[in-house]
Structure 1
Amino acid sequence: MVPTLPGVPVRNLYFLLVRVLICPDKFAGTLTASEVAAAVAEGWHEAAKDDECVLRPLSDGGPGFVEVLGAALDGRRIPVATVDPLGRPARGEVLLVGTTAYVESAQACGLHLLTKQERNPNTATSYGLGLLLAAAVEAGAAEVVVGLGGSAVNDAGAGMLAALGAGPVDESGYALPYGGAVLGAAARLEGPPQLRQVRLVAATDVDNPLLGLHGASNVFGPQKGATREDVLRLDAALEHFTGVLERAFGLEGIAAMPGAGAAGGIGAALLALGGRVVSGIGLVTGLTGLEEQLDRADLVITGEGSFDHQSLRGKVVAGIANGARDRGLPCVVIAGRNETGYREAANAGVTETYALVQHFGSEERALAEPARGLREVASRLAGQWSR
């Protein structure tokens, strides 16, 4: 029910209402992107019940990739039995839309599948992702889009290749153990990958190369439990394994390709298999019709668990803020914590930033009650922005 105002025709009141586009990423470890969007909308309507909130939860290729696309596309979700980074049973799924399949590396390789004590990129494996790819091939896919991000592995896709019949072996022909640390002993691949000429696409949130200072081991290894010694060992092992991949597939320069370092180097393996790299957020916004929603919005709210320097390099917040800036729209970021400077955020198109840690006054409460914090911050925002 739209309220009436003295002297204002009812038909004109619709122009006084605000159309809010709510398009967050997940808050890793606490809330999915859908849960974040719902909490923000609920809070907004507490203060401005007649405004229109359009919910478009997003993913940049990491956790939630299949869920987000499954909600937006008319496809079939096929459950798949797979394994986690330690080889334990895990549940995954393939989203099949026509002859294109979408799979999510985080369902099998995700950091969220492990406790902090279990994190060890020396031995974590991407084998489970290979099982998801095999299931997509068996489902009849001609193209498989692999969402990359949020992984616990650093094995350059060696485990994934093993699940496809092309795992690394040593000089004697014995299969190598799981993990990235042993790849320095790889001599060749066991055989050709069983992919039936399927086209591969890597949808990633980063453009890092495989090796060096900005590579998978140095940048992301510490987040996965790697010590400084581990980082050096892993980088050297991946450099050796790159040569194995290049000889096997007749390629050169894989390690330096943008996106090769995504998901612990899984990007490099997909590139070696003839895949191409695309922006995860660009792919998702295109498939979910977000561009049209941006054209119609008055205000954009996005966010993620940690808004930091990586957020502005191909992740959800960067993609949304850039789109809002290009349209002259205000863009508000709500995050669990904010580690980005005002000028850096403003240059990316961010108008304001709010953090649950500051809202509650402690990280513990922000982690314990994220939905409540999102509702309260959104309600305050509505009081400021609603007409």
Structure 2
Amino acid sequence: MRVLICPDKFAGTLSAPEVAEAVVAGWSGTGDDLIRRPLSDGGPGFVEVLAEALDGRRIPVPTVDPLGRPVTGEVLLAGHTAYVESAQACGLHLLKPDERDPNVTTSYGLGLLVTAAVEAGAAEVVIGLGGSAVNDGGAGMLAALGAAPVDAAGYALPYGGSYLNSAVALSGAPRLREVSLVAATDVDNPLTGLYGASKVYGPQKGAGEEDVFRLDAALEVFAGVLETAFGVSDLQRQPGGGAAGGIGAALIALGGRVVSGIGLVTTQIGLEKELDAADLVITGEGSFDQQSLRGKVVAGIAGSARDRGLPCIVLCGRNETGYREAASAGVTETYSLTDHFGSTEAALERPAEGLRDLAGRIARLWSR
């Protein structure tokens, strides 16, 4: 039997390649043909997943985290296209829970990664968006590119989303050398409003109720600055503008186009061809919930499997979906680590072990 194993990461515990490896280890010994194709929708693991499939060069880049502390990111250069991952510089996983505060976190580190991609000679820079700790509308990224937001007196603003309510202009033009930009994300939220970056994603980044309203108002002000600076309009309502705390809107203002992260990855790694040849599909992610069914990796894979009449099994850390919801999305069966171990603590402490156990159990049921 040909088994296609194409999971997303288990956030905070295992990368997508590690999840796939654990499943392979648990399934081995059956004689089945196991095909590993780890995935990402633009969030953490985006570069790693593409690096496994593309004949490219990984370039280490010194950058900074959301609080300005030194970290190392990388640029994947494949031909004339460079791939960077916002989470390597702006990721929520880079902060301790008590450090999360979108009022002060910055996307400056992403700007350093984009700069490195431009300096490497790329004609196109694809930026994976997701899993961010920021809500600054890409202001920090723009500052690193040479276009820092300034107040009415001409002074550069402090980093962080809450200071954008004082923005009136940008200090210069971004140094991009006519490079084309692509935002890879499966978040279609607009920049502001009820479904905007602040309201939907701000709380998980540490924003309180008052912070959410203040950040949303600040992004509204900053959208006006971007519209004036780059001659764009209706920036607040553009789908994908709310991705990664509003970085999506900044990229749109710079002339970038928004594409599906999972769509881009699946195309680059040839997943459609593998799906056509598969007998069984296994996917998964850390938390299988309502967001999973709205454009995330699992929903995309399950839907593709359903369209081909293939069974699709989801492995997850925890399962918060109902059977009918999952089935309508194309999911045949769901197995969670919390059910397997009986506790969330054990699921977080021993995810690879649990995935190996579950894969072995599933293999006994499904292998021919």
Instruction: State the partner residue of 2:220.
Output: 239
Superposed CA offset, 1:173-215 (max 9, x none): 1000001001000010111111011100000021111111111
Tell me what 2:3 maps to.
20
Query: Could you tell me how far apart the structure 1 residues matched to 2:315 and 2:194 are?
Result: 31
Letter of the 1:218 partner, please give it: K
Match of residue 146 from structure 1:
127
- 1:295-374 to 2 correspondence within 5 Å? 295-374=276-355
2:19 is aligned to 36
Partners of 1:321 and 1:276 lie apart in 2 by 26
Q: Aligned partners of 2:343, 2:332: CA distance in 1, in Å?
A: 24
For residue 105 of structure 1, report the CA deviation from its aligned partner: 0.2
Q: What CA distance in whole angstroms lies between the structure 1 residues aligned with 2:227 and 2:293?
A: 31
Give the 3-state SS of the residue equivalent to 1:63 in structure 2: coil
Specify the SS of the correspondent of 2:226: helix
- Flag structure 1 segments of 5+ consecutive residues without an equivalent: 1-17
Q: Paired residue for 1:53? A: 34
**What is the SS of the residue equivalent to 2:158?**
coil
Q: Is the 8 A contact 1:306 1:335 kept in 2?
A: yes
Report SS of the residue matched to 2:285: coil
Cα pair 1:324 1:331 within 8 Å, conserved: yes
Paired residue total: 368
1:50: how far off?
Answer: 0.7
Give the counterpart of 1:68 among 49, 54, 61: 49
For residues 82-102 of structure 1, give each alpha carbon's deviation from its aligned partner in whole angstroms, at most 9, with x where no partner exists: 000000001011111111100
8 A Cα contact 2:22 2:356, kept in partner: yes
The corresponding residue for 2:185 is 204
Task: Give the structure-1-normalised TM-score.
Answer: 0.94
Partner of 1:265: 246
How far off its partner does 1:373 sit? 0.6
TM-score, normalized by length of structure 2? 0.99
The structure that has the greater radius of gyration is: 1
Q: Which residue of 2 aligns with 1:84?
A: 65
CA deviations 1:304-336 (Å, max 9, x no partner) are 000111112221111111110110000000000
Could you tell me how far apart the structure 2 residues matched to 1:161 and 1:249 are?
Answer: 12
Q: Which residue of 2 aligns with 1:255?
A: 236
Give the equivalent residue in structure 2 for 1:385: 366
- Equivalent position of 1:6 in the other structure: none
The 4+ residue runs of structure 1 with deviation greater than 6 A are none
Counting only pairs closer than 5 Å after superposition, residues 169-180 of structure 1 correspond to structure 2 as 169-180=150-161
Contact 2:197 2:245 in 1 (8 A): yes
Distance 1:255 1:202 in 2: 16
| 1:343 positional shift | 1.4
Query: Is the partner of 2:62 in helix, strand or coil?
Result: strand
Return the letter of the residue paired with 2:179: V
